[in-house]
């Protein structure tokens, strides 16, 4: 029996970060993982989808290269090569984690873990004693009754990443981050895409103003966006599916495949299978924890998708650092106030902090400033001048409550908003910061000036 200070179950972006931090803090640390290192993020999530999105963008740019004065003939998609490259990128990243484990003296156990009792983790019949256990087992795509994945006609995101061909037509159910991203990928490759969302706007967790603008942009790209629409039923046929809608436009659409992207289910079976722990699970199977990431059982922590909170890789990593700190004698509390996120649609929609509605609901007197990329020089040089920046402030103090960016490189630019919020900046700090010309970031500055009604490149506010 091996003894550890910290045993981390799951080597995704939550678990592997937690393990490294625990080892850095001097804990004897082990990680248990039954699949490749890196979790969904590296293997079926963030990294592979972004690889495909970049490829799709490149393809679209090549198709439009003539506009830029470059004539390219016979642009074709080689799906096999595309998937190979994706695997190469994944391999580089997962290999990196293995090397980091070695460098930090972390023992890796390959296999499925179970918790026999609090403080004992079992893997491949071997028992590890753990003063502290961090459960970081992640989540998986949720399935709808009647919409179960069959791997060919009705698929989830994991299948979608490994499709050997570009489908001619596809219905995407769920316009959250994942659904919208795949809709944009297939749209770029020329598929006929129908994007269905039950809520009144796509990306329902985003601020409605940029979300609605994105909806218009996607429609212009010929994506059939149907908001406020439910799926009545799916008919599986030999050569495809027929999806019947209710709500919005009550008709049906034939498609080659259906992608179901309606959220995630927590991989909390490790707790469910350990009744001795007596931890009640939430809806979607979330393990309940406090903001120190402690479960109701002393010495057992949980982080990431399995606690059903942020559904973000960097959220899981931040939680992992909090958990690792607390189980090695530290005292950290997870602060979710500044947690940026990016939807890698085209264009990207990134945000940090509150939406305008959330700010109002929390009782703030809300003031906003916004700016369209249509008036940004750099955006035009890139040939992507669609989108906007919106800043939400507290009228009493001008504190930045939220920043929402729809446009090229929004995911990169949002870091500035996050930093500004982290240091409790006011909109005035952004407005008084000199921004580089010509860059996309100038749009953020203009939005800050617009907040005070003095934008340089926007019409005076009436």
Figure out which of the listed residues 428, 435, 457, 458 binds another protein, where binding follows CB under 8 A.
428
Figure out which of the listed residues 95, 424, 456, 461 binds another protein, where binding follows CB under 8 A.
424
Neighbours of 386 (CB within 10 A): 19
Please give the structure tokens belonging to residue 349. Answer: 């929609």
Give the largest CA-CA distance in the chain: 74
The interface region with another protein, picked from 254-262, 282-290, 318-326, 422-430 by CB under 8 A, is 422-430
Figure out which of the listed residues 247, 374, 429, 435 binds another protein, where binding follows CB under 8 A.
429
The interface region with another protein, picked from 122-130, 210-218, 249-257, 421-429 by CB under 8 A, is 421-429
**CA proximity to 409, closest of 433, 438, 379, 436:** 379
Residue 124 or residue 397: which is nearer to another protein going by CB? 397
Residues 389-418 that bind another protein (CB under 8 A): 396-399
Residue 208 or residue 426: which is nearer to another protein going by CB? 426
- Residue 429 Cβ vs another protein, minimum distance, rounded to whole Å: 5
3-class DSSP state of 243: strand
- Exposed, middle or buried, 435 (CB in 10 Å: 0-12/13-18/19+)? middle
**Considering CB under 8 A, how many residues would be counted as binding another protein?**
10
Figure out which of the listed residues 24, 114, 143, 426 binds another protein, where binding follows CB under 8 A.
426
User: Tokens 């070695």 label which residue?
Assistant: 102
Residue 408 or residue 417: which is nearer to another protein going by CB? 417
- Is position 423 an interface residue for another protein (rule: CB under 8 A)? yes
Neighbours of 453 (CB within 10 A): 12
- Residue 420 Cβ vs another protein, minimum distance, rounded to whole Å: 9
Residue 156 or residue 340: which is nearer to another protein going by CB? 340
Residue 265 or residue 426: which is nearer to another protein going by CB? 426
The long-range contacts involving 243-250, CB below 8 angstroms and separated by at least 24 positions, are: 243/171, 243/173, 243/194, 243/196, 245/196, 247/198
Residues 26-85 that bind another protein (CB under 8 A): none
Residue 114 or residue 433: which is nearer to another protein going by CB? 433
- Residue 77 Cβ vs another protein, minimum distance, rounded to whole Å: 49
CA dist 206 and 211 (Å) reads 6
Phi/psi region, residue 74 (left: phi>0; alpha: psi -120 to 50; beta: rest), is left
Packed helices 15-24 and 313-326: angle between N→C axes, nearest 10 degrees: 30
Q: Could you tell me which residues come within 8 angstroms of residue 430 by beta carbon, excluding any fewer than 6 positions away?
A: 391, 400, 416, 420, 444, 445, 447, 448
The interface region with another protein, picked from 47-55, 299-307, 356-364, 420-428 by CB under 8 A, is 420-428
Residue 30 or residue 339: which is nearer to another protein going by CB? 339
User: Tokens 């218009």 label which residue?
Assistant: 216
- Residue 335 Cβ vs another protein, minimum distance, rounded to whole Å: 10
- Residue 369 Cβ vs another protein, minimum distance, rounded to whole Å: 16
CA dist 91 and 266 (Å) reads 25
- Is position 291 an interface residue for another protein (rule: CB under 8 A)? no
- Residue 264 Cβ vs another protein, minimum distance, rounded to whole Å: 32
Please give the structure tokens belonging to residue 400. Answer: 């930045």
- Residue 430 Cβ vs another protein, minimum distance, rounded to whole Å: 10
Q: Which of 314, 380, 437, 457 is catalytic?
A: 437
- The C-alpha torsion from 335 through 175 and 406 to 161, rounded to 10°, is 90
Does 437 qualify as catalytic in the annotation?
Answer: yes
191 in Cβ contact with 170 (< 8 Å): yes
Please give the structure tokens belonging to residue 388. Answer: 């906007």
Figure out which of the listed residues 292, 425, 435, 452 binds another protein, where binding follows CB under 8 A.
425
Please give the structure tokens belonging to residue 232. Answer: 């009545």
- The footprint of another protein (CB under 8 A) covers 396-399, 423-426, 428-429
Instruction: List active site positions.
Output: 437
């Amino acid at each position: 029996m091996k003894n550890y200070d910290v045993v981390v179950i799951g080597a995704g972006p939550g678990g592997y970060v937690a393990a490294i931090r625990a080892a850095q803090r001097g804990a004897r640390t082990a990680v248990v993982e039954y699949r490749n290192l890196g979790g969904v993020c590296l293997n079926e999530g963030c990294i592979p989808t972004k690889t495909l999105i970049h490829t799709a963008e490149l393809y679209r740019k090549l198709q439009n290269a003539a506009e830029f004065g470059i004539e390219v003939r016979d642009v074709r998609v080689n799906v096999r090569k595309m998937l190979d490259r994706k695997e190469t990128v994944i391999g580089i990243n997962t290999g990196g984690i293995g090397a980091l484990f070695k460098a930090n003296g972390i023992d890796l156990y390959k296999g499925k873990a179970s918790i026999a009792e609090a403080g004992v983790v079992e893997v491949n019949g071997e028992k590890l004693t753990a003063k502290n256990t961090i459960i970081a087992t992640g989540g998986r795509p949720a399935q709808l009754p009647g919409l179960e994945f069959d791997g060919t006609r009705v698929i989830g995101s994991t299948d979608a990443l490994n499709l050997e061909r570009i489908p001619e037509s596809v219905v995407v159910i769920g316009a959250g981050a994942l659904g919208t991203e795949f809709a944009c990928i297939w749209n770029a490759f020329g598929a006929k895409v129908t994007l269905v969302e039950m809520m009144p706007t796509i990306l329902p967790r985003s601020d409605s103003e940029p979300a609605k603008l994105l909806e218009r942009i996607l429609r212009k790209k010929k994506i059939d966006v149907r908001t406020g629409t439910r799926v009545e039923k799916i008919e599986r046929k030999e050569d495809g599916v027929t999806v019947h809608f209710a709500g919005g436009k009550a008709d049906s659409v034939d498609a080659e495949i259906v992608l179901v992207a309606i959220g995630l289910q927590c991989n909390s079976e490790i707790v469910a299978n350990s009744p001795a722990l007596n931890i009640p699970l939430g809806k979607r199977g979330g393990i309940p924890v406090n903001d120190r990431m402690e479960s109701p059982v002393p010495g057992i922590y949980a982080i990431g998708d399995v606690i059903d909170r942020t559904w973000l890789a960097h959220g899981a990593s931040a939680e992992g650092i909090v958990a690792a700190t607390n189980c090695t004698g530290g005292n950290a509390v997870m602060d979710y106030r500044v947690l940026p996120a990016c939807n890698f649609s085209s264009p990207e929609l990134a945000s940090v902090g509150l939406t305008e509605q959330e700010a109002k609901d929390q009782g703030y007197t809300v003031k906003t400033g916004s700016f369209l990329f249509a008036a940004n020089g750099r955006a035009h040089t890139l040939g992507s001048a669609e989108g906007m920046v919106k800043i939400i402030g507290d009228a009493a103090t001008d504190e930045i409550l939220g920043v929402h960016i729809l446009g090229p490189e929004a995911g990169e630019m949002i870091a500035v908003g996050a930093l500004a919020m982290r240091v409790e900046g006011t909109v005035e700090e952004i407005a008084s910061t000199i921004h580089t010309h010509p860059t996309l970031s100038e749009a953020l500055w203009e939005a800050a000036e617009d907040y005070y009604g003095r934008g340089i490149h926007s019409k005076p506010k009436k």
